[in-house]
A and B are shown apart, each in its own frame.
Chain A
Amino acid sequence: MNLALKDIRHGLFRFVLTCFGLGLLMTVVLAMIGIYNGLVADALAVVKAPAAEVWVVEAGTKGPFAEASSIPADSRDTVARMPGVAEAGAINYQTVEAPFLDRALRLYVIGYETGRPGGPQIIAEGRGIGTSHFELVADRKTGLVLGDTIRLGRNRFSVVGLVEGAMNSGGDPAVYMTLADAMALQTELAPADQRVQAARGAGAVKSASVAAVIVRVTPGADVDLLTATLRQWKHLAALSQTEQENILLASVVDKARRQIGLFLGILLAVSAVVIALIIYTMTMEKLKQIATLKLIGAPDRTIIGLIVQQSLILGTAGWGIGLVLILLVKDVFPRRVVLEPFNVAVLAGIIVVVCLAASGLGVRAALKVDPATALGG
């Protein structure tokens, strides 16, 4: 006879309600884990997107994600000619805010040279950029769809393709355009400003600098040797992909990551206390029944089983409800919530440990109960 299940069935509504409450708490914990992962994944998405091996950036800087980086656009030709370089492409980044329908879209504009590294790796819908000007490939999260047109700077761009998971470390969805369009967007003046400049006799500003040149190396090439060689140039610096990722995490998202990590730790501690309290209270409410069980001769293992099984069922149910709820609502979050099976399994492990520890408190109290308690009216 399984006393734990019988007791649960007896107070099923209350138990389910408790599990649901715990489930909501687990939803928050899982959401925080997901947000934490999402923050890191989002931050790395933009670095990983070009599938580069080496980043050539402005000397003395840490690259375009950590700080401003500006190098001559023709650096690409110089870099491309180096031994071990298979492909090189200049790339540019900027954030713009543009009106679209009745809202303002905040976009992370990535300018790249078509046919060279830096563009989207996988087009989820539509096609890649096929003309030199005024075409866009947008991340789905922009809300743009194929065929939409949007005004950016002085020009109107058509959406010809859609990608997924392209954004900057702040979570702004990315749009890809040609490098020429991106540089124009960055430097071209509005018509009125242009007229003022023309009246002053000043020529139009034409920038010939890009944020970085990204490099893919030939098979077997020594990346370290290549970066070391590039660093010998005074106006350029070179970073391997791993260095770039580490810089991004350390410089850009580190504080946010630590903040969320700390909050997650507090949340886990609170969850542990709540679980312990629920289980302890559940046990305390049953002390008279436990005394009766002892009096009629139930061995300790029966009483321990009753408490431990119930706490494990409670913890597992709470974890399960939390998992289902977060899977249902994770796409509603404005930023990505990334849950890895490993995280979910680790949380399950933590819950089991917490439940067992909390049961320990209950078991201790239960084993101390004097069976004579049952005799008193």
Chain B
Amino acid sequence: MAIGDILVDVQAVAKHYGDGETRVDALRQVDLQVRAGEVIALLGPSGSGKTTLLNIIGCILDPSSGRVVLDGDPVFDGKWLRSDLRRLRLDKIGFIFQAHNLLPFLTAAENVSLVLDLAGWAPEKGRERAVELLDYLEVSHRAPVKPALLSGGEAQRVAIARALANRPRIILADEPTAALDSKRAQLVMDLLRKLAAEQEACILTVTHDEKIFDRFDRLIHLRDGRLTDD
């Protein structure tokens, strides 16, 4: 795999909730390809289907119909168990949340190395990788600190380190800069762009933050469950 390869291939994906009169179509025949190295923003008003699409790509939600291929693996084809999907998430997908969602009982370094521990890395190698990532994100001095004592920017960088720990090729971010000031938001976006290039990963971000729109390769608009603009 290299820059330019398709990492996320969403083909005619639809998702609806309920049936009959109560049926709500969250996504309607969405097609989307995201290539390695791309940094993409998913835009749209509330209820447009952004989070649903992100959850389907993150293997959290099953689509009602359509096909999803992640890094060459077709998922939701009936052959995957839920535990397999979780393993797929661990190996291929990194999540960055709006509220960093670091585990409060682990230190910054442990939050990062936990992912590697789950992935089966040797504890020593996991710790090394965690420190290396935190160093890269310039928060290694906060490695032994619990999340409650980190600033918003520090916590978000630790969360990014966690998302990147197992070298995933697909990074999904839900409002990653919402809790940051303008300067920090730009820094985070610069960092994500740099990582996408270096790790040959793609980054798919749900955001409403207009001040960072210029940092994306593509802006994808969703309205009423349909892609309206790319």
Residue positions of A touching B, CB distance < 8 A: 1, 3, 6-7, 9-11, 288-289, 292-300, 302, 370-372, 374-375, 377
Contacts and interface: CB of A to CB of B under 8 A. Distances in A.
A9 B104 CA distance: 11
Given A375-B54, A375-B55, A6 B106 contact: yes
Given A1-B123, A377-B175, A300 B83 contact: yes
14 contacts: A1-B113, A10-B146, A292-B101, A293-B103, A294-B86, A295-B89, A296-B114, A296-B118, A296-B162, A297-B87, A297-B88, A299-B87, A377-B99, A377-B175
Nearest to B61: A372
Given A289-B103, A295-B58, A297-B93, 14 more contacts: A1-B117, A3-B103, A3-B106, A3-B114, A6-B106, A293-B103, A294-B86, A295-B89, A296-B95, A297-B87, A297-B118, A299-B87, A374-B97, A374-B101
A374 B104 CA distance: 14
B140 interface: no
A295 B54 CA distance: 12
Contact of B110 (A6, A302, A375): A6
Contacts of B99: 377
Contacts of B58: 295
B174 interface: yes
A235 B161 CA distance: 95
A298 B93 CA distance: 13
A297 B123 CA distance: 17
Contacts of B117: 1
Contacts of B105: 3, 6-7, 9-11
A212 to B, nearest CB: 68
Contact of B98 (A1, A11, A371, A377): A377
A79 to B, nearest CB: 75
A1 B114 contact: yes
Contact of A292 (B103, B119, B174): B103
A374 B174 CA distance: 10
B139 interface: no
A290 B95 CA distance: 15
A3 B119 CA distance: 15
A297 B103 contact: no
Interface string B7-45: 000000000000000000000000000000000000000
Contacts of A1: 106, 110, 113-114, 117, 123
Interface residues of B, number: 36
Contact of A372 (B60, B101, B104): B60
A160 B160 CA distance: 83
B60 to A, nearest CB: 5
A4 to B, nearest CB: 10
Q: Which of A7, A295, A300 has the most CB of B within 10 A?
A: A295
B136 to A, nearest CB: 19
Contacts of A294: 86
B91 interface: yes
B18 to A, nearest CB: 17
Contacts of A370: 60
Contacts of A6: 105-106, 110
Interface in B91-131: 91, 93, 95, 97-99, 101, 103-106, 110, 113-115, 117-119, 123
A294 B55 CA distance: 13
B177 to A, nearest CB: 13
A168 to B, nearest CB: 57
B98 A298 contact: no
B51 interface: yes
Contacts of B83: 299-300
A377 B86 CA distance: 21
Contact of B115 (A10, A296, A299, A371): A296
B90 A297 contact: yes
A375 B118 contact: no
The 6 closest A-B pairs by CB, nearest first: A297-B90, A10-B105, A7-B105, A297-B89, A292-B101, A372-B60
A298 B95 CA distance: 13
Nearest to B94: A296
Nearest to B104: A10
B113 to A, nearest CB: 7
A296 B146 contact: no
Contacts of B115: 296-297
A296 B113 contact: no
A289 B175 contact: no
Contacts of B162: 296
Contacts of A302: 118
A296 B89 contact: yes
Given A1-B123, A11-B105, A296-B115, A375 B146 contact: no
Nearest to B92: A297
B43 to A, nearest CB: 17
A162 B105 CA distance: 59
Contacts of B89: 295-297
Contacts of B123: 1
A295 B95 contact: yes
